[in-house]
A and B are shown apart, each in its own frame.
Chain A
Amino acid sequence: MSLSLDTRKNAFPGIKVLRALYASRLFRTVFTIVVLVGIWQVIAVLKDTSYLVPRPIGFDFDVPHSSVLAAGWHSMTINSPTQDPLWSHALISIRRALIGYFAAIAVAVPIGMIAAWWKAIDDTAGSFIELVRPIPALALIPIAIIWFGFGEVAKVAIIGYACFFSIYINTHAGVRNVDPLFIRVMKVYGRGQWDILTKVVFYSMLPYAFTGARYAAAIALILLVAVELVGAQDGLGFSLARAQQVLATTEVYFIIVLFGAIGFVFNWAVLFAERRVIKWRQEVDAQV
């Protein structure tokens, strides 16, 4: 055992560096991205069908169709009276998603708590929510447009509506999973309903609500794209549709990657908030 270890140590001096790199989580992530983009680049160069699979990397920034990177540079820095740069569309989209998302949290958490806590409300309002939940939110886009027109309200409402359910369901489950022991503790020490709700139920359901909020972050982006593809004059979804219509494949790819990046940051932000808020939990470390 020790013999083989020694030979490995002597065999290749760079092995220590490689091991240190392998142990670094950042390196693992970056390495994966580099490999995947590399494969994409190789395929694109070999096939040379830029309108189907454009090259991801290329430094001919004056020609937007030469690579996804160039298209990104071009669309972000565009400076013309007829067309806004892509980042301004991105901001509009992010704003829509966030308003809908936070509105959903503000509504779903209290309703989820109330419905899970009081049987009468669960049997009435809760049942109604379960009844409409299976309807895909996408199917409600036409109704939202009929009700609210093509303005911001319809878009935000659809996003918020779709986000509502995952937060609601998880909050509801969280309340139902409160340890009865803690409720006994509160009763024994003379605390009433309100204290039980705010000092026990609320905290026990928080981790569940955060799980729901992470799902909802992904759902918000899906619905964002949908509402902007269907009826918008601005935003990333609108830019995506327009790029496709003029066969600007590189820009299409760039916007898709941008959506991915926004989703990644969104998810990370929710995780970050969760770690900040829920400090009392003992976390289990993943295997190295």
Chain B
Amino acid sequence: MSSQPTGGSRVSLKDVKKAFGSNVVLEGIDLEIPAGQFVSIVGKSGCGKSTLLRLMIGLDSVTAGVLDAPALKEQAARIVFQEPRLLPWASVKDNVAVGLGEGQSGKAADQQAAAILEEVGLKGREGLWPSQLSGGMRQRVALARALVSQPTLLALDEPLGALDALTRIDMQALLEGAWQDLGFTALMVTHDVGEAVALGDRVILIDHGQVVLDLPVNLPRPRKRGTPEFAALEGQILDKLFGDDPRAREAH
């Protein structure tokens, strides 16, 4: 499409531990994430998955072990939160420009912003206020803001968690398209096992601060939900999450 592929960067964690005071949140985490991979991270609330994401993106520091992520040194890591966190008083275009950082303005910056807005399907809406957009469109602006500086590592903390079911499906396709076009490494935390399988090259399941499942997803894209292969992978993750408690699975 209109934006140039930027490529991804790798992340590697060796025996990483994170504790807040005496409360150990993550322990013994070993992960090798190659450049350009789409990694889905799932787990129950409070399992430490968001903490893992914050570590990998440099928002928190590790307590012990080694985290090696070149994107952090190059300031090429970005994050999208569940809430869009847009400036309500800035237009769509100015919100995206926030992602370019200090002192980046003028023609080149305008072109970059325009290209990324086209990528997320917001061409022609540059001048609108966030209050004039739907929830899904606001999240697209947040995605454009994160992508405009051409990051090699993108963290997504339940990016679609606040959206309705139909908008989610739309946004999953958009996210997959942007990732395929731009080639960044994607780390996505989600509550939705189906979403994790639909988007991830690999699904990592965190439980009680440890990686309990690291499952490759070798299905062709775009993936169709409801196929036996898809359902089998989902089942495998849910089994690990809930054991054999049928009521818990039903609820999910």
- Does B bind A? no
Q: Which residues of A are in contact with B by a Cβ distance under 8 Å?
A: none
Residues of B bordering A, CB below 8 Å:
none
